[in-house]
Amino acid sequence: MIIKQSVVDVLMFLFERYLDDDELNETSRVTDKRDSIQIRLEEMGFHNQEINQAFDWLEDLADLQERQQFLPVKETSSRIYSEQEKKLLNIESIGFLHFLEQSNILTPVTRELILDRVAALGHPLDTEQMKWIIMIVLHAHPGEENALALMENFIFDEVTDLLQ
């Protein structure tokens, strides 16, 4: 049986194995070790195209973090999703983003970073895939340690609940 893998699968693997520790500049560290990690990913059965796209995606995220080109919007502003964004995110995912923002897990800035990274993938995501994108973005964004911890608890508690 051939399992179709996506860039999100590679990102999830990278997050679980290489990014989810407390070192500073982990994204840079991972991209610096790209060759050795790429060999490991290929051994795991991931395809070259998805691996390269995942590393490019992470490098772009790091560049966005450095440039900080997302300006905070007024707290009273409402986010209207474009037709393109609605093609990439289902209504459940949009509702989940709204819930996270209302719960103060996401800020308007982190929400926009997440939407940028979803758009960079260029294909529709389900809510489970989007949760991983959210965790990766929060992990890479300075000062979002508490939000990341809440998000991880939210995701992993949900998985534990399903297993019981």
Torsion of CA 3, 126, 73, 55, to 10 degrees: 0
CA–CA separation, 64 and 5 (whole Å): 26
- CA angle, corner 44, sides to 42 and 45, nearest 5? 65
Q: Tell me, what amino acid is at 94?
A: I
Domain ranges of the chain: 7-163
What are the structure tokens assigned to 124, written together? 């529709």
pLDDT of amino acid 28: 55
CB atoms within 10 A of CB 121: 19
CA–CA separation, 154 and 148 (whole Å): 10
CA–CA separation, 19 and 28 (whole Å): 10
Burial 57-79 (b: 16+ CB within 10 A, else e): bbeebbebbeeeebeeeeeeeee
pLDDT of amino acid 3: 41
- CA distances in angstroms from 133 to 17, 74, 82, listed in the order given: 15, 24, 19
What are the structure tokens assigned to 122, written together? 């260029």
pLDDT of amino acid 146: 85
CB atoms within 10 A of CB 119: 13
Full pLDDT tens readout for the chain, 164 residues? 234 468 999 998 888 887 765 554 455 566 668 888 898 899 888 999 999 999 999 999 988 877 766 565 666 678 889 999 999 999 999 999 999 998 889 988 899 999 999 999 998 998 889 999 999 999 888 788 888 888 888 777 654 444 44
Handedness of CA 29, 20, 11, 40 (dihedral sign): positive
